[in-house]
Amino acid sequence: MPQVVEVNHPDDLAHYHLAWSSLLPETRSASYFQSLDWLQTYWKHFGRDQRMRVLIVYSGGAPIGIVPLTVFRDHTRLGDVRMLTYPLQEWGSFYGPIGGNPTATLAVAMRHLRHTRRDWDLIDLRWIDKTCLDHGRTRTALENAEFAVNESIWKEIPLIDLPETWDAYFAGRTSKFRNNIRRAEKHAAERGELTLERHRPLGAARGDGDPNWTLYDVCEELSSRSWQGSSNDGTTLCHDEVRPFLREMHEVASRGGAADMAVLRLDGQPIAFSYNYHYRGYLNGLRVGFDPEFAKIAAGNLLYLYVIRDNIERGDQLFDLGPGSIEAKRQWITRTTPSYRYRHYPLASPRTQLLRMKHWLSRRQQALSS
């Protein structure tokens, strides 16, 4: 009979390193955000006010899947609500169970939540790729565990499916856009030589875990000079609120062979950057930016041109550009796919039921205005 071991303290995660490392490669379209390295570093910086609930599902005495969860206080107009969700916090686009048997893993994990003490006011499982990966598993697992479910779209995610050749990809862009890019390249060439410096270490296990701090500092500097320097959300490379986390995460990702950064230079001068994580052909775009002094030569588009072309040459399969600013990315993407959320509002919680009504009214108003 399947069993669940629940881990509530970050120090105990080290005992499951081998299981995590063996299950992650079995996970379809896994991203670096589902790695143990990500969770441990994220928790070190942001876990103080959260409660860890990592569910490790066993069958026949062997681990078959992992469902990392966290309980944190979400501030709403109705007061603080304890939310049970995945430990992603908007850094990536998608999340889900780890392992090659997500159906059984989710089913057992949700039944475990049903029969353990409720330390949450709301289940809010966001970042679900229902269309390509989940196929209704999350909703079914929640409903089979007798959790009434509300399904809605969380965000639209811009993606680039990378073919085998650059010509095949570029031919799929509109003729007008292709001409604009060619003109941008020509105008840039009149000012100097464009070069792309890319750093993607193979990882310490393969003798190549150098974080290349010199290049990372260039990315930070470009971030501070770009629109990100004046951004108020505090999640960019140069912001004090997350800068220590991102720097430590960069070192960890470099050791694990998951860090990826690119700097576009004009006659050696850095003009734009892209910082990403990658795992088995899946590239997550974390942050991009460019020096506004080079806006007239379309530095942002030239950066995408050079990075995407290099991605294809490296054999990457999917470039997830991350949620937000879709219009700025639209000419480059091959498709968008919705990221779903599944919420359960316990009847025994009056505040949560008021929140449910508020969410319902908000969705209705959006539907009427669209």
Q: Residue 67's beta-bridge partner residues?
A: 55
Confidence at 233, pLDDT banded by 50, 70, 90: low
- pLDDT over 90, % of the chain: 84
How high is the pLDDT of residue 120? 94
Residue 281: pLDDT over 90: yes
How high is the pLDDT of residue 355? 72
Q: What is each CA distance from 189 to 47, 60, 83, 222, 291, in whole angstroms?
A: 48, 63, 52, 21, 17
**Helices and strands in the chain: count of H runs, count of E runs:** 11, 12
Residue 14: pLDDT over 80: yes
CA distance 32 to 173: 29
How high is the pLDDT of residue 297? 94
pLDDT, tens digit (0-9, with 9 covering 90-100), for 313-359: 999 999 999 988 888 899 999 999 999 999 999 876 666 777 777 77
Helix, strand, or coil (residue 41): helix
How high is the pLDDT of residue 238? 87
Helix residue ranges per DSSP H, 316-349: 326-329
How high is the pLDDT of residue 356? 72
Question: How confident is the prediction for the chain on average, in pLDDT?
Answer: 93
How high is the pLDDT of residue 210? 98
Residue 292's φ and ψ, nearest 5 degrees, are -60, -20
Q: Which residue in this structure is represented by tokens 């390249």?
A: 185
pLDDT, tens digit (0-9, with 9 covering 90-100), for 69-112: 999 998 877 678 899 999 999 999 999 999 999 999 999 999 99
Structure tokens at 102: 């997500």
How high is the pLDDT of residue 350? 67
Helix, strand, or coil (residue 182): helix
How high is the pLDDT of residue 75? 81
Contact, 312 vs 138, CB < 8 A? Answer: no
Q: Which residues contact 141 (CB under 8 A, 6 or more apart)?
A: 103, 106, 107, 109, 110
Give the distance from CA 213 to its chain's centroid: 23
CA distance 249 to 142: 33
Q: What is each CA distance from 183 to 85, 179, 333, in whole angstroms?
A: 46, 6, 20
* Whether the model pTM is above 0.85: yes
Residue 366: pLDDT over 80: no
- pLDDT over 70, % of the chain: 93
pLDDT, tens digit (0-9, with 9 covering 90-100), for 241-264: 999 999 999 999 999 999 999 999
Contact, 241 vs 193, CB < 8 A? Answer: no
Confidence at 28, pLDDT banded by 50, 70, 90: very high
Structure tokens at 81: 């609500």
How high is the pLDDT of residue 272? 97
